[in-house]
């Protein structure tokens, strides 16, 4: 019998020693559930008779068995617990080692080299415990990609911040950020300063990428390749979000809008001069405000027009004139400029003079069209005819011809023939025109009375029948054929 021992049952009320080193290094970072499991395990190590198995431990701590397993995994990664067996699971508590207390075995040194780093990672997720999968990824960032510890920790913080979940799980964060870490490492990102710089860029870039996806009518997160394209647009090309979203209108030409197609559109824009881009935008706005975003083809056409000597203000005036005529395509502007170019008009001053002259010529033409009973804009053909009439006839005679043409199917052509006839007949005044017109009308009326019009539908060759055409078999004698009973009686 031992010289001295606890009285029966008194061991239930003894103490469980906890080192101050544990309190200094682990208390502040360990999750609450893990602390509860560790403290209870320390007591069970002193009094194994108090705990039977994992299920009993879970019931006592009022926890799920799975949570208890994860807690032991946590302390195993911290170097304070070693797993002895899996079925059933058994563990051994390891002594804490402080500085100057001797080195741990080589295997333990390698396994627990990033203990503080791993603890800091776990602290970022609070009660959501990390698993070996996540720790392996985080350690690979240091060993394989070359990140510094504080840089890797900042990377995880950024992953948690950009997660859509209010309480992001470690697995989702690390799976997503592992690709990001590799891409940033390819850009030479290693230190905390490097990561902070890239994150600053991302905070300007990522919202733009999401806005583009929303403009495409999609609901998803942008891929790293898509974010890289947006980074080029925002950081290298200095484009604003408004400019990028404005260019999204061009992606409607593609079957499926994509960042690659949008990149091509923006590249075409960047290839041109900024001043030319602004000029063309203003021209398209005058043409049709709803389509004020230049396409690559329109940029090329505009550059050709400038190369042909057209002033930007002349092109803009052509757009205004097209809009007045309800022509809203850039092709209409090109057509009008071709006409102006044939007349040697390429400057704003020359174009204004030409347009003013057309307006001056249009006034009398409008009046003639109204006299004819036409409600439309004058055409170039109308202008040409009226010019030829005014050169040969008195304005009063032209007005009378318009009154005579009212109600005709093609009034302007009728007027042209009428005035040509009057010119050939030497008509000079309105009185002479009236006399000639009335005489022609009377002559036509008399001819119409003497020779009534023949319906052309009746003007066809008639067949002449002979007696031999009416043979016995031409008609059927119903009475003789069918009789009263209808049986050929």
Say whether pLDDT at 111 is over 60. no
Record the tokens describing residue 187, joined without a space. 């850009």
Among residues 124, 156, 126, 163, the alpha carbon closest in space to that of 139 is found at 156
Q: What is the pLDDT of residues 159-187, one digit of tens each?
A: 998 888 888 899 999 999 998 899 889 88
Domain boundary among the residues 58, 87, 113 is at 113
Lowest mean pLDDT among 1-5, 62-66, 191-195, 277-281: 1-5
Q: Which of 405, 421, 444 is the last residue of a domain?
A: 444
Among 149, 26, 175, 165, which Cα is nearest to 97's? Answer: 26
Query: 319 lies in a domain?
Result: no
> What pLDDT score does 148 carry?
93
> Given 404, 425, 444, which residue is the final one in a domain?
444
pLDDT category of residue 291 using cuts at 50, 70 and 90: low
- Domain contains 433: yes
Q: What is the pLDDT of residue 157?
A: 93
3-state SS assignment for residue 192? helix
Binned at pLDDT 50, 70 and 90, residue 397 comes out as confident
Residue 416: domain span: 352-444
Best CA proximity match to 281, nearest among 261, 310, 302: 302
Beta bridge partners of 81: 93
Rounded Cα gap, residues 387 and 117, in angstroms: 92
Q: What is the pLDDT of residue 12?
A: 57
Q: 88-102, 183-197, 341-355, 421-435: which has the minimum mean pLDDT?
A: 88-102
Q: Output phi, psi for 362, to 5 deg.
A: -75, -30
The predicted pLDDT at position 304 comes to 85
Instruction: Tell me if 187 sits within 8 A of 177, measured CB to CB.
Output: no
Express each pLDDT in 68-84 by its tens digit: 888 888 888 777 888 88
- Residue 37 domain-assigned? yes
Q: What is the CATH number of the domain that holds 70?
A: 1.10.10.10
| Contacts for 308 with CB less than 8 Å, ≥ 6 apart | 341, 346
Render pLDDT for 13-47 as a digit per residue (tens, 0 to 9). 678 888 888 888 778 778 888 889 888 888 888 87
Which of the four pLDDT bands, split at 50, 70 and 90, describes residue 188?
confident
pLDDT, position 186: 86
Give the total number of structural domains in the chain: 2
Angle in degrees, CA 434, 440, 444, rounded to 5: 145
In a domain, 360, yes or no: yes
- pLDDT, averaged across the chain: 80
Domain assignment of residue 429, yes or no: yes
Q: Evaluate the CA torsion angle 327, 333, 334, 336 in order and state its sign.
A: positive
Question: Does residue 277 lie within any of the structural domains?
Answer: no
Higher per-residue confidence, 141 vs 87: 141
Residue 134 lies in a domain: no
Residue 21 lies in a domain: yes
């Amino acid at each position: 019998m031992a010289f001295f021992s606890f009285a029966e049952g008194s061991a239930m009320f003894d103490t469980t020693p906890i080192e101050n080193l544990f309190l200094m290094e682990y208390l502040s970072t360990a999750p609450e559930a893990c602390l509860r499991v560790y403290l209870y395990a320390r007591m069970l190590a002193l009094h194994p008779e108090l705990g039977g198995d994992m299920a009993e431990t879970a019931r006592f701590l009022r926890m799920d068995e799975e949570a208890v397993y994860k807690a032991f995994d946590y302390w195993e990664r911290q170097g304070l617990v070693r797993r002895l067996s899996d079925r059933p699971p058994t563990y051994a508590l390891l002594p804490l080692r402080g500085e100057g207390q001797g080195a741990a075995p080589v295997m333990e040194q390698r396994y627990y080299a990033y203990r503080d780093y791993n603890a800091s990672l776990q602290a970022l997720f609070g009660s959501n415990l990390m698993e070996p999968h996540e720790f392996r990824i985080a350690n690979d960032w240091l060993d394989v990609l070359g990140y510094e510890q504080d840089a890797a920790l900042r990377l995880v913080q950024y992953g948690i911040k950009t997660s859509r979940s209010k309480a992001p799980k470690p697995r989702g964060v690390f799976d997503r950020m592992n690709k990001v870490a590799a891409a940033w490492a390819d850009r030479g990102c290693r230190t905390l300063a490097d990561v902070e710089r890239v994150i600053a860029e991302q905070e300007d870039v990522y919202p733009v990428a999401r806005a583009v996806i929303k403009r495409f009518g999609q609901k998803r997160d942008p891929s790293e390749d898509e974010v890289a394209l947006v980074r080029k647009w925002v950081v290298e090309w200095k484009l604003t979000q408004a400019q990028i979203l404005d260019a999204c209108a061009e992606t409607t030409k593609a079957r499926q809008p994509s960042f690659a197609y949008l990149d091509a559109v923006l590249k075409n824009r960047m290839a041109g001069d900024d001043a030319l881009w602004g000029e063309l935008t203003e021209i398209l706005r005058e043409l049709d405000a709803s389509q004020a975003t230049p396409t690559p083809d329109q940029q090329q056409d505009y550059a050709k027009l400038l190369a042909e000597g057209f002033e930007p203000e002349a092109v803009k005036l052509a757009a205004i004139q097209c809009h007045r005529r309800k022509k809203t395509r850039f092709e209409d502007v090109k057509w009008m400029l071709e006409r102006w170019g044939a007349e040697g008009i390429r400057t704003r001053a020359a174009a204004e003079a030409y347009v003013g002259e057309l307006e001056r010529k249009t006034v009398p033409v409008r009046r003639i069209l109204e006299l004819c009973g036409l409600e439309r804009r004058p055409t170039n053909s109308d202008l040409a005819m009226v010019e030829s009439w005014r050169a040969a006839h008195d304005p009063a005679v032209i007005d009378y011809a318009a009154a005579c043409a009212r109600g005709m199917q093609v009034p302007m052509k009728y007027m042209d023939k009428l005035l040509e006839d009057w010119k050939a007949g030497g008509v000079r005044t309105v009185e002479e025109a009236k006399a000639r017109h009335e005489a022609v009308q009377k002559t036509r009326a008399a001819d119409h009375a003497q020779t009534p019009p023949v319906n052309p539908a009746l003007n066809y060759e008639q067949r002449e029948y002979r007696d031999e055409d009416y043979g016995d078999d031409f008609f059927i004698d119903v009475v003789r054929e069918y009789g009263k009973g209808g049986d050929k009686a």
